[in-house]
Amino acid sequence: MADPELTHDPMQDLLSIMARLRDPQSGCPWDLQQDFRSIAPYTIEEAYEVADAIERGNLNELRDELGDLLLQVVFHARMAEEQGAFTFSDVAAAINDKMIRRHPHVFATASMPGVDEQTRHWEDIKAEERAAKRADGDATAASAIDDVSAALPGLPRTIKLTRRAARVGFDWPSPHGVFDKIREELAELEEAWDQGEGDQARVEAELGDMLFATANLARHLRIDPESALRGTIRRFEERFREAEKVLAGRGLTMEDASFEQREAAWESAKRKERARQQEADA
């Protein structure tokens, strides 16, 4: 197979390049060895790298990372086409149809809703789609919490599951009930730990309950828990590095310093962070 002839259509060029990479006679050995399962971790990784570029506000990197993520879509679509399942055009057509169907206020005669109303309407349409699947005999669409991907990380999957449950009335009426639940779960976790480290399974279960309740609280507060956690991680990294610098200025390393010295360096790092934030806000 000859090298793909590049056109003025970047999307078509990308499809041609992927076809060339997957050519059984002259393609790339690594690309030819891949299947849906082996590529899936890369797809997830690229999605996280897109999120990281957004968090850091780096639009040049965002452009590149979006390209990497698009490549993953093209890769999966190419493998499906080779099996006669569907093509990239089928993927694009399916999402086009879905977006038009889920936005009647844009593409049909429905009135323009507010953001909250639009979110509820979006969920109503998805519920109708699941009901249609059940009517067609799809056994995978029998519950209000079906088709929430098990491959999702824990925090976003918790949000999706509890949001679905809330739509059928299984929810606290306000965040106060979730605050109480977190306190309850924390007490049960502490009790499990105090009764001995031997029952590690119970400690793990209680910790999971507390994390689940915390993610559910984020939903009530309209905060993305993954984004909130990533922000905390970023601040921890910045403070830790600054604390290392503070200790180094005193001729110490993190390993050599006493607990009190490490705490003092950490507080110093936090003060510097607050001062930088105040300058940025001024």
Query: Does 132 reside within a domain?
Result: no
Query: Does 30 reside within a domain?
Result: yes
Does residue 12 carry a pLDDT above 70? yes
Same domain for 211 and 230, yes or no, is no
Structure token pair of residue 257? 């310093």
From 89-93, 130-134, 271-275, the region with the lowest mean pLDDT: 130-134
Same domain for 210 and 230, yes or no, is no
Query: Does 66 reside within a domain?
Result: yes
Q: What is the mean pLDDT of residues 164-188?
A: 94
Same domain for 162 and 205, yes or no, is yes
- CA atoms of 91 and 96, how far apart (whole Å): 9
Same domain for 208 and 241, yes or no, is no
Does residue 97 carry a pLDDT above 80? yes
From 76-85, 121-130, 139-148, the region with the lowest mean pLDDT: 121-130
Query: Does 256 reside within a domain?
Result: yes
- Structural domain of residue 272, as residue ranges? 226-281
Categorize the per-residue pLDDT at 49 as very low, low, confident or very high, splitting at 50, 70 and 90: very high
Q: What is the mean pLDDT of residues 93-99?
A: 92
Nearest to 269 by CA among 234, 238, 231: 238
Task: Output the CA torsion sign for 49, 50, 56, 60.
Answer: positive
Same domain for 176 and 258, yes or no, is no
pLDDT for residue 101: 85
- For residue 27, the domain's CATH number is 1.10.287.1080
Categorize the per-residue pLDDT at 112 as very low, low, confident or very high, splitting at 50, 70 and 90: low
Domain total of the chain: 3
Residue type at position 75? F
pLDDT digit string, tens, across residues 177-225: 999 999 999 999 999 999 876 688 999 999 999 999 999 999 999 999 9
Query: Does 254 reside within a domain?
Result: yes
SS3 sequence of 109-156: CCCCCCHHHHHHHHHHHHHHHHHHHHHCCCCCCCCCCCCCCCCCCHHH
Q: What is the mean pLDDT of residues 23-34?
A: 96
Same domain for 57 and 97, yes or no, is yes
- Where among 64, 81, 101 does a domain terminate? 101
Query: Does 221 reside within a domain?
Result: no
Query: Does 189 reside within a domain?
Result: yes
Kindly state the greatest CA–CA separation across the chain: 71
60-91 burial string, b = 16+ CB within 10 Å, else e?
A: eebeebeeebebbebbbbbbbbeeeeeebeeb
